Structure 1
Amino acid sequence: MATAATTTPCGFVSRLPSHQAPPGRKSQLLLIQEHAKKPCFFRRITTRCDSSSSSANASSDSSPASISALERLKAAGADRYTKEKCSIAVIGLSIHTAPVEMREKLAIPEQQWCRAIGELCDLNHIEEAAVLSTCNRMEIYVVALSWHRGISEVTEWMSKTSGIPAAELREHLFMLRDGDATRHLFEVSSGLDSLVLGEGQILSQVKQVVKNGQGSGVLGKNIDRLFKNAITAGKRVRCETSIASGAVSVSSAAVELALMKLPVSQALTARMVLVGAGKMGKLVIKHLASKGIERVVVVNRSSERVDAIRDDIKNIEIVYKPLEEMVKCAGEADVIFTSTASDTPLFLKSNVENLPPTANDDARLFIDISVPRNVGACVSDHGSSKVFNVDDLKEVVEANKEDRIRKAMEAQVIISEELKSFEAWRDSLETVPTIKKLRSYADRIKGSELEKCFGKIGDEALTKKTRRSIEELSNGIVNKLLHGPLQHLRSDGSDSRTLEETLDNMHALNRMFSLDTVTSVFKQKVKSKVDKSS
């Protein structure tokens, strides 16, 4: 796939695909040279046959130095951090920027997403976070008090999590901020950033981020809304454009690759084995059946999923084998597809050295669509075996790229509409603290004047009816007086008022009533960070 290289002022080179560089996109890739000092609590140990094991040291940090640093932030907050709202940023790597060897070290299993989010939110400058980890990408979305310091902390966290030196990581990471970060997630959800433009599985993976977050309560309101709007964008793109027509998934591309590598005369009679019966595995079987393959052996821990697939896909014979027979089944196959969530390789060189030759003495094909990889690269060292992973699927989809790029341009119109909707919602949040403070200010005055009034009337003359009438009168006066100012603090896109006008109104009210909203909101955020650290 062609890439557009961009060098930033920091010397970081962008390797994002050229079809994904809409006019005006800023900060495609940023080198973060500062490092956060707070250690990571999340440990992940990955073993590969062609690389050494790595682990991140787990420790805790509630030292006075850490807290005093946050106290200094609080003291300097009015000058350094209150001039701009918190940034939404994404930092990560994908099939476009990093090889599978690096992606697998950073991959985080779905069951550990919530734990990772908790650790990210413990970082000094990170308020909210989400993790999107698939076979083609590992991306972290954050809301940061200070975007450059926050990204620096996340970079260091990723380095400690994966065991990859930060300097090496930066050669492959991309970073996008605010509108660019939002657009990127919308493009990801719409299938525009996938290996194959328009593929559908990524949308379900974005949905899973929201589902997990709602179940555990780890997603903040900004990230939650961001991902929900991304889901809406993804659905609209697939419903309102033809980008998904004839779309090729990773699973179908794997089948295409296997058939390309087999001799034409043997393609339909080759013996097929699939290890893993998850969503990707089911799609492999579906596409094998569509190509005319009549039989596939499925190796899995249990038979329940295989039985469910057999009930759903009728035009192919599906034979179940337990995991204990995996190597034996591989010895009886010409092509082995692997699609499991295993953190360690299922096949190493030692597993294939003694396998019998294939039926036609051709090389045995291992098509590995898992990240982390299920088949070690060392298997290719054995002359009778060839290994292909997700990075090798690019040649399958290259032929359809031009047509899909044209369809992607149609999708960008929808994405721009959804982006405008999200930004209007986020802009509306900026005035909420001022609205609350103004209402509280008015209520304090009302309460004080009511107390004076009731004192003058006296308890003997103050009946319940009189008290209620006076309270209703004062509430009505306050509400009518506040109606105009509060209306001019709206910034939700429902009227013609611009964001600049709304913010001018907000700052004017802050000055007139000495609300000091911006600084107080920042101090509350920093105080919560200090309390959390201590």
Structure 2
Amino acid sequence: MAAASGLAASFAVTKAELLVRSSSWAKFGVGPRPRVGFRVRIQRGPRCEAAGTDLEEKITARASSVSALEQFKVSGTDRYMKERSSIAVIGLSVHTTPVEMREKLAVPEAQWPRTIGELCNLNHIEEAAVLSTCNRMEIYVVALSWHRGIREVTEWMAKTSGIPVSELREHLFMLRDSDAIRHLFEVSAGLDSLVLGEGQILAQVKQVVRVGQGSGGLGKNIDRLFKDAITAGKLVRSETNISSGAVSVSSAAVELALMKLPHTHSLFARMLVIGAGKMGKLVIKHLVAKGCRKVVVVNRSTEKVDAIREELKDVEIIYKPLDDMLSSASEADVIFTSTASETPLFFKENVESLPPVGEAVGGVRFFLDISVPRNVGSCVSELKSARVFNVDDLKEVVEANKEDRQRKAMEAQAIISKELKRFEAWRDSLETVPTIKKLRSYADRIKVAELEKCYQKIGDEALTKKMKRAIEDLSNGILNKLLHGPLQHLRCDGSDSRTLDETLENMHALNRMFSLGTDKSIIEQKIKAKVEKAQN
């Protein structure tokens, strides 16, 4: 693979280290093609929280900038300067990564703008977005250099999470351009979710756009990518009805709880929901849909619980403050946790002190933890009186209706392929814009130079303003007529039969004929500006 050879110096990627990334297709027996993730070998010393000072960090950052500047100085012969900027996704998925690692890399929504800013400050990253949910943590970037950009993002992830790169690379997946775009479209359509067709992920993709626009962090390419992904997700759901019968993580948690409880007593079990946010509200709704008529809800404040109670008037919803969490848990058979707490709410000693539950519900208290980071410590699983399930345990629920989902997934792929072509056509058409500007600028420089020669020959004293205006109008008219044909052949707006390939061929031909050097000069300018900013 050509790309892999370019990584050798920095990443030491070998063919044996290619990791075929599992996906939702493997679960449902559908596989358009395997995804390949690069295992990236980055030499890095041990992390030490206490070591280092602000001065040392500044020296390290300056050394990094100097190194990048040296790379820039020799970029005229460096292969990476000749490549086009790439759209890439680097991340961790529920299909390949345990929750213990995903929770270390999870980025709260409030921190998305800051994270985007940090990523865009990297030397070879132009645009960025973060999609962090309970099932995935994915970073989307436009990289001015694929090789160096991926290395910078990977090192950033290792630094911010505290996970050694040697451990991180075992689970990291990376996709580029068409594969990265298709992946996001599949994510938005619910095809890459733990539960095929679940609808919550589409709302989360929309939230990435809202947060990005609010902070001014999304660039042109990433903004259009996520908006087109939203369109693809909506089309898949409306045209294939893939979400019918499909469930969200919250609904899957309810399904699993009822599956584990004795059938005759499942609806009489005492239900406790901790957290009244989006996930908690969905848990309550799904419990009600299954026939549950009473739910105790623990939350920091009563406002959200009151709103849920107002919406579900036929159900007894009892509010308890957070201080009453343990006492409420002592009276519950099934406990759902869905809070944003960064530390566990339940430890082994907490659960061990709770009174036992009745034999009618199996004599075991169930914890359904759908939070990332987890709300229930892993040590609770050591108790015989408790059973703990987290988001990774919901796979049991998704096996139903497999054949119907396979058919809908294949229909969805046809829609996604069409939307993928639309996005790629839009992105490819952007390539001609710099050439149009360069060609116009080149022609204007020639016009100005020739006008100066003309004025010098005639003499300024012999020219009136009216005569000068007439000469300039004449030169502009000739210039515009000469440029009209070439510029028309650089536009691909669907107004004629010209294909995108023809337009790009015209662009490359004009670049060669007039020595415009568009692609290289633009990338050089962007990287130089970033390096100089980092140095200052």
CA distance in 2, matches of 1:331, 1:415: 48
CA drift of 1:492 comes to: 5.3
Aligned partner of residue 267 in structure 1, secondary structure: helix
Aligned length: 515
Superposition deviation, residue 501 in structure 1: 3.2
CA deviation string 1:405-452 (max 9, x = no partner): 210110111111110011111111222221111111122233344455
Q: Counterpart of 2:430 in 1: which secondary structure?
A: helix
Shift of 1:477: 2.6
Tell me which residue corresponds to 1:432. Answer: 433
What does residue range 382-393 of structure 1 map to in structure 2 within 5 Å? 382-393=383-394
Shift of 1:101: 1.1
Q: Which consecutive residues of structure 1, in runs of 5 or more, have no partner in the other structure?
A: 1-6, 46-53
Measured after TM superposition, the shift of residue 454 of structure 1 is 5.9
Deviations along 1:242-295, one digit per CA (max 9) or x if unpaired, are 111122111111111111111112111111110111111111111111111001
1:232: Cα distance to partner?
1.0
Bigger mean CA offset, 414-423 vs 487-496: 487-496
- Identify the match of residue 17 of structure 1 among 23, 46, 57: 23
More deviation, 105-114/124-133? 124-133
- Equivalence for 1:198: 197
Shift of 1:366: 0.7
- Separation in 1 of the partners of 2:445 and 2:315? 74
- The 3-state SS of whatever aligns with 1:187 is helix
Tell me the SS of whatever aligns to 1:277.
coil
Asked whether 1:301 is paired with 2:309, we answer no
Q: What corresponds to 1:410 in structure 2? A: 411
TM-superposed deviation, 1:118: 1.8
Deviations 1:370-419 (A, max 9, x none): 11101111112222111111111100111233321210110111111110
**Is residue 2:298 matched to residue 1:290?**
no
Equivalent position of 2:40 in the other structure: 32
TM-score, with structure 1 as normaliser: 0.89
How far apart in 2 are the matches of 1:13 and 1:397?
Answer: 25
CA distance in 2, matches of 1:223, 1:35: 30
Unaligned runs of 5+ in 2: 1-12
Q: Which residue of 2 aligns with 1:445?
A: 446
Q: Distance in 2 between matches of 1:307 and 1:503?
A: 59
Matched residue SS, 1:511: helix
| In structure 1, C-alpha distance between the alignment counterparts of 2:292 and 2:487, rounded to whole Å | 66
Shift of 1:497: 3.6
Distance 1:462 1:137, change over 3 A: same
Describe the shift of the 1:517–1:103 C-alpha distance in structure 2 as closer, same or farther (beyond 3 A): same
SS in 2 for 1:299: strand
The question of whether the paired residues in 2 share the 8 Å contact of 1:35 and 1:153 is answered with no
* 1:73 matched residue in structure 2: 71
CA distance in 2, matches of 1:56, 1:339: 37
Question: How far apart in 1 are the matches of 2:314 and 2:515?
Answer: 73
Distance 1:23 1:57 in 2: 50
Q: Distance in 1 between matches of 2:397 and 2:253?
A: 8
Pair 1:336 & 2:335 matched = yes
Q: Report the CA distance between 1:8 and its aligned residue.
A: 7.7
Higher mean alpha-carbon deviation, 228-237 vs 9-18, is at: 9-18
Question: What is the alpha-carbon distance in structure 1 between the residues aligned to residue 193 and residue 289 of structure 2?
Answer: 23
8 Å contact from structure 1 (residues 73, 526) kept in 2? no
1:10: Cα distance to partner? 4.3
Report deviation, 1:87. Answer: 1.2
Deviation at 1:468, TM superposition (A): 4.8
Q: In 2 relative to 1, CA 35–78 (structure 1 residues): closer, same or farther, beyond 3 Å?
A: farther
- Mark the CA change 1:369 to 1:495 in structure 2 (over 3 Å): closer, same or farther: farther
Work out the percentage of aligned pairs sharing the same amino acid: 69
Question: What does residue 479 of structure 1 align with?
Answer: 480
Contact 1:32 1:148 in 2 (8 A): no
Q: What residue is the counterpart of 1:3 in the other structure?
A: none
Report the counterpart of residue 325 of structure 1 in structure 2. Answer: 324
Q: What RMSD, in angstroms, separates the aligned Cα atoms of the two structures?
A: 2.8
Q: CA deviation at 1:453?
A: 5.3
Name the SS of the counterpart of 2:400 in structure 1: helix
Deviation of the 1:494 alpha carbon? 5.7
Task: Give the TM-score normalised by the residue count of structure 2.
Answer: 0.89
Say whether the 8 Å CA contact 1:26–1:180 is kept in structure 2: no
Distance 1:341-1:57 versus aligned 2 partners, 3 A rule: farther
Matched to 1:16, the amino acid is: S
